[in-house]
Structure 1
Amino acid sequence: MGETKLSLVKDNRWSLHGMTALVTGGTRGIGHAIVEELAEFGASIHVCSRNQDDIDKCLQEWKNKGFNVTGSVCDVFHRDQRQTLMETVSSIFHGKLNILVNNAARYITKNMIDHTAEDISLILGTNFESCYHLSQLAYPLLKESGYGSIVSISSIASVKAHNVISAFSAAKGAMNQLTKNIALEWAKDNIRANAVAPGIVMTSLLESVLL
């Protein structure tokens, strides 16, 4: 394996060696980049995706790079699958978790008047409810680690109105507020919470929408 980012940084306070992380939706786009960044700094990571083939492809790629990454199938829209995912993570990381990255998302482009009940349920369930529930499930693992961090991938659409993504924007706005509440309530347990709100990023998720 070549030089990692950590080996190029003189200040070892950046090291994530010995840290564990769960990244949802970690096989594509922003999630994939997050996994690689964490791995470059020495973290052990578990990823989930709805597609086993995507997981297998990425795990082989990361193994070739010398990264310590495991993965399992989970559609975070489903509550029972979220519970199974966290049980898997707890088993792999021996009851401790340092970093939870709530990244998995779905995206529907329709005028507000055209959103169906099913559309709204899917978007809110995937983009917000999963973030809330996975944070709840991760809480004892984050607390047990002694140093916990939750990073939720929001969107610029959470603070600025855009056409045809009203449900998506609302879900990300709710994610922002949840992040504030987590930071407030769990600071006493040495758990930090932050939301990152990127603008348009050309990932496979966006490409599928544009097509």
Structure 2
Amino acid sequence: MDPTAALKARFSLEGKTALVTGGTKGIGQAVVAELCALGAKVYFCSRSQQDVDAALASFQQQGYAVAGMAADVANKEPREQLVQQVSDAFGGSLHILVNNVGTNIRKPTSEFTDQDYSTVLTTNLESAFKLCQLCRPLLKAAGSSSILFNSSVAGGPLAMFSGTLYAMSKAALNQLTKNLAVEWAPDGIRVNSVAPWYTATPLAMQVLQDKEFEAKVVSATPMGRIAQPSEVASVMAFLAGPGAAFVTGQTLAVDGGYSVKGFYP
């Protein structure tokens, strides 16, 4: 193969298939667009049929090969239906699984209710764990595949103002990344996570509307700004592709230097 063509192939997703959860907004939407632009065929989900329809229209207008369905992956039956649809769509194999869905409830620890605990941990952690289990046969069938988790710098090693439930769920994803990377490597499945800092998504903008708080976030970030969803998506696309073929078990911070700053006035 021509050296230039070989180089381009390392950063192409032509012929690859992908499932992205929460693919209609924020980082998830950017991931779908990035994977499609690199040549992948993508199936995505969202809890809202209206959001799915709007996203499908937008992606298809751009010429992307996409399909989607409404499914709340925090619940067992919709998860199973989603994976069956993906299996049918892609002939029983899957190259890329992006566990992107997430939510947060910000409260002091002593004020969290049982329902709060269930909502955050089920959405952020259980959905990802169960989807990995369900998709493993499809990922193994692909021969060379990749799982990605949308984690957070809130998952450690530093503590930050995000709420303990959110931090717990993301820390668990980071450990799950390591365990699955080792256990499933013989099946040709790589597993990595991306840990963003504050990114301009609908969830983050709920707190960044407070300009005083936004200024504190920016001042804690060496690069001096909030990330864009596309900047997280491009890292996920790299980790999903052949250019990262020997990378597994890693959690990569996409945080403008926040996690390495420490006390550096």
The TM-score, its normalising length taken from structure 2, stands at 0.74
**Residue in structure 2 matching 1:168, options 146, 166, 169:** 166
Equivalence map 1:61-72=2 (5 Å)? 61-72=58-69
Matched, 1:26 2:35: no
Amino acid at match of 2:8: D
**Structure 2 equivalent of residue 92 of structure 1:** 89
CA shift digits 1:64-114 (9 cap, x unpaired) = 110001000111111111111101110111100000000001111111111
**8 Å CA contact 1:109, 1:209 repeated in 2:** no
**Structure 2 equivalent of residue 42 of structure 1:** 39
Q: C-alpha displacement at 1:165, in angstroms? A: 1.2
- Per the alignment, in what secondary structure is the counterpart of residue 161 of structure 1? coil
Amino acid at match of 1:92: A
> 2: CA distance between counterparts of 1:46 and 1:101?
10
Q: C-alpha displacement at 1:210, in angstroms? A: 5.3
Cα distance change, pair 205–142 in 1 and its aligned pair in 2 (3 A): same
Q: CA RMSD in A?
A: 1.6
**Structure 2 equivalent of residue 14 of structure 1:** 11
Give the fraction of aligned pairs with identical amino acids, expressed as a percent.
45
Unaligned runs of 5+ in 1: 1-8
**Structure 2 equivalent of residue 122 of structure 1:** 119
> 1: CA distance between counterparts of 2:54 and 2:78?
21
**8 Å CA contact 2:144, 2:189 repeated in 1:** yes
Q: C-alpha displacement at 1:207, in angstroms? A: 2.3
Matched, 1:179 2:177: yes
**Residue in structure 2 matching 1:149, options 143, 146, 149:** 146
> 1: CA distance between counterparts of 2:51 and 2:125?
23
> 1: CA distance between counterparts of 2:15 and 2:190?
18
Unaligned runs of 5+ in 2: 1-5, 210-265
- Per the alignment, in what secondary structure is the counterpart of residue 43 of structure 2? strand
> 1: CA distance between counterparts of 2:208 and 2:114?
23
Q: C-alpha displacement at 1:164, in angstroms? A: 4.8
**Structure 2 equivalent of residue 83 of structure 1:** 80
> 1: CA distance between counterparts of 2:197 and 2:207?
15
Aligned pair count? 204
**Structure 2 equivalent of residue 190 of structure 1:** 188
**8 Å CA contact 1:86, 1:138 repeated in 2:** yes
**Structure 1 equivalent of residue 130 of structure 2:** 133
> 2: CA distance between counterparts of 1:203 and 1:188?
36
**8 Å CA contact 1:111, 1:164 repeated in 2:** no
Amino acid at match of 1:158: G
Amino acid at match of 1:12: A
> 1: CA distance between counterparts of 2:47 and 2:192?
25
**Structure 2 equivalent of residue 202 of structure 1:** 200
Matched, 1:53 2:53: no
> 1: CA distance between counterparts of 2:196 and 2:207?
17
**8 Å CA contact 2:80, 2:134 repeated in 1:** yes
